[in-house]
């Protein structure tokens, strides 16, 4: 029987080393993937993590006054490492601002030494006054011109009104489109150069007189007004349609 001798040359040794290295890397990758997927989270564990993140937002963010707060945790990669934590999951976040649209919540199991960041979508809505029709500059707002609608704060950052009595009877300073929020700068509850009632309140007593507004103003604004009788210029707070209150 003939015997064949394999002569080891530098070239063949280099090729052998390359082949061995390639297979070793492949085996290492497979072992790593096997270890990774063995530790992957179950559906129940993923749901517990999402619930913990959402509950953190509900308990740390302030509920909008008269409004609604809704949250929704994003889907989590099922390949993450997780366990049935023997203790309650701990949560934390760097922000408690309800006007943000997303907050990352850190969910941890200190006992089993794992953690995951969960993006949580936030939607805070409050009731605001909106126009029921196209409104033109100079019009006086009537009850049928406005209604209350829930508006998402993340989409509307300006200052609006929450009650229709704050705008009914007010004069429009600019056009407002159908469905738009009536903003404070859109109207004057007290209008410059127009007559107003001045209410002077002191020790539970109220004295009223007539005056002329020297500035536009919305409810709660401080404006200058001239007393028509004494011709004195004073400052008061807008407390109603064509009404200014001064407290002594």
d(CA 37, CA 48): 19
- Contacting residues for 76 by C-beta, under 8 A, at least 6 apart: 41, 46, 49, 50, 116, 118
- Here the tokens at position 165 are 């009595």
- Return the closest-CA partner of residue 171 out of 158, 157, 159, 185: 185
Tens digits of residue pLDDT in 217-231 = 888 899 999 999 999
Judge whether residue 32 has pLDDT over 50.
no
In the prediction, which pLDDT does 40 show? 75
DSSP annotation of 173 = S
Show the domains of the chain with their CATH numbers.
43-124 (no CATH), 126-188 (3.90.1210.10), 195-247 (2.30.30.760)
CB neighbours (10 Å) of residue 237? 17
The pLDDT of residue 17 is 55
Grouping H, G, I as helix, E, B as strand and the rest as coil, residue 93 is: strand
Does the pLDDT at position 38 exceed 60?
no
| Average per-residue pLDDT for the chain | 83
Whether the pLDDT of residue 56 is over 70: the answer is: yes
pLDDT tens for 70-113 read: 899 999 988 888 899 999 999 999 877 666 788 999 999 999 99
Q: What is the pLDDT of residues 188-211, one digit of tens each?
A: 989 999 999 999 998 889 989 999
Give the pTM.
0.60
The span from the CA of 243 to the CA of 248, in Å, is: 16
**pLDDT given at position 214:** 95
And the tokens for 182?
A: 């009536």
Half-sphere exposure of 141 (CA within 13 A, CB side): 31
């Amino acid at each position: 029987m003939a015997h064949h001798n394999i002569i080891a040359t530098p070239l063949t040794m280099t090729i052998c080393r390359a082949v061995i290295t390639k297979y070793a890397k492949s085996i290492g990758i497979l072992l790593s993937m096997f270890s990774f997927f063995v530790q992957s989270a179950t559906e129940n564990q993923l749901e517990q993590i999402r619930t913990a993140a959402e509950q953190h937002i509900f308990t740390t963010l302030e509920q909008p006054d008269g409004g609604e707060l809704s949250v929704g945790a994003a889907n989590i990669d099922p390949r993450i490492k997780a366990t049935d934590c023997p203790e309650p999951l701990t949560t934390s976040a760097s922000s408690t601002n309800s006007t943000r649209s997303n907050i990352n919540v850190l969910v941890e199991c200190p006992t089993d030494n794992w953690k995951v960041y969960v993006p949580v979508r936030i939607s805070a809505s409050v009731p605001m006054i909106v126009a029921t029709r196209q409104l033109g500059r100079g019009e006086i707002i009537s009850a049928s011109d406005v209604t209350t609608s829930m508006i998402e704060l993340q989409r509307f950052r300006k200052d609006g009104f929450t009650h229709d009595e704050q705008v009914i009877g007010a004069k429009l300073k600019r056009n407002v489109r159908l469905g738009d929020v009536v903003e404070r700068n859109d109207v004057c509850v007290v209008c410059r150069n127009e007559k107003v009632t001045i209410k002077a309140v002191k020790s539970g007593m109220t004295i009223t007189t007539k005056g002329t507004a020297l500035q536009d103003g919305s409810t709660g604004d401080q404006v200058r007004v001239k007393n028509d009788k004494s011709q004195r210029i004073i400052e008061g707070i807008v407390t109603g349609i064509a009404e200014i209150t001064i407290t002594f």
